[in-house]
Amino acid sequence: MDGNGRWAKRRGLPRTEGHKAGVDAFERVCECAADLGVPYLTFYAFSTENWRRSPEEVSAIMELFRRQLREGERRQAENEEKRWRIRYIGDLEEGGPVPDDILALLRDMEEKSSFREETVVSIAVNYGGQQEILRAARRLAALVQKGQLAPEDISERDIEDGLYTAGQPMPDLIIRPSGELRLSNFLLWQSAYAELWFSDILWPDFTERDLDRALEDFALRQRRFGDIEA
């Protein structure tokens, strides 16, 4: 979800307003994808590198997470909850940089939405693809050190089991808005054979039509996974 700041700047608004509009786009895309029966959606909300931003911007974004999570709680209490299951991926250990009250709210949200299986929405918070692979490597190294695993027996599957996305299929399509042509540390292992779709649209402007366009383009792609054309 990129381009919130530029969206706000173009309107002469503070960057925070762009992040708020970005939350609306997130809801819009979740609704649309759930209608279309997309089984897994993963959003990059906050990276391990985003902490480099000004303290004002970081705390405004954290405050938005809080608001969004409390709104989710309210919906739950009033039986107006959304249809999708929510999962959070990233380094969300206690004692890390994400405030403890947010960690508690997001664990609660995961638990309360866990019975909904139709569409799984994963939200990456304090997420970095390299850090995710490093974490999986450390876990395997610990098993090797304990003599429970031989280095030559380590498989791709073992690494995948140590990723935050363990148990989920690899992404078929990665959408990057806002004109940047890079992955920016997103799902590095998982994206090995993902189709990439780039657009100049700033995330807050992203609509159902853009999702349709991305899916239409995706449907025309020939996926060979290293094989040759049949």
Which residues carry out catalysis?
2, 50
* Closer residue to ligand IPE in complex, CB, 140/211: 211
> CB 216 → ligand IPE: shortest distance, Å?
25
Six token digits for residue 25: 């786009």
* Closer residue to ligand IPE in complex, CB, 46/206: 46
Residue the block writes with tokens 């994808």: 33
* Residue 120 parent element (H or E): strand 120-127
> CB 2 → Mg ion: shortest distance, Å?
4
Q: Does 176 bind Mg ion (CB under 5 A)?
A: no
* Closer residue to Mg ion in complex, CB, 17/136: 17
What span, in angstroms and rounded, lies between the C-alpha atoms of 168 and 91? Answer: 18
Cα dihedral 130, 136, 140, 142, rounded to 10, equals 90
Instruction: Write the single-letter amino acid at 21.
Output: A
Q: Which residue is nearest to ligand IPE (CB)?
A: 5
Nearest CA-CA partner of 133 in 52, 215, 190: 190
Residue 28 binds which one of ligand IPE, Mg ion, none, with CB within 5 to 8 A depending on kind? Answer: none
Six token digits for residue 36: 């279309």
Compute how many residues bind Mg ion; rule: CB under 5 A. 1
Interface with Mg ion (CB under 5 A), residue from 2, 17, 132, 210 = 2
Give the footprint of Mg ion on this chain (CB under 5 A).
2
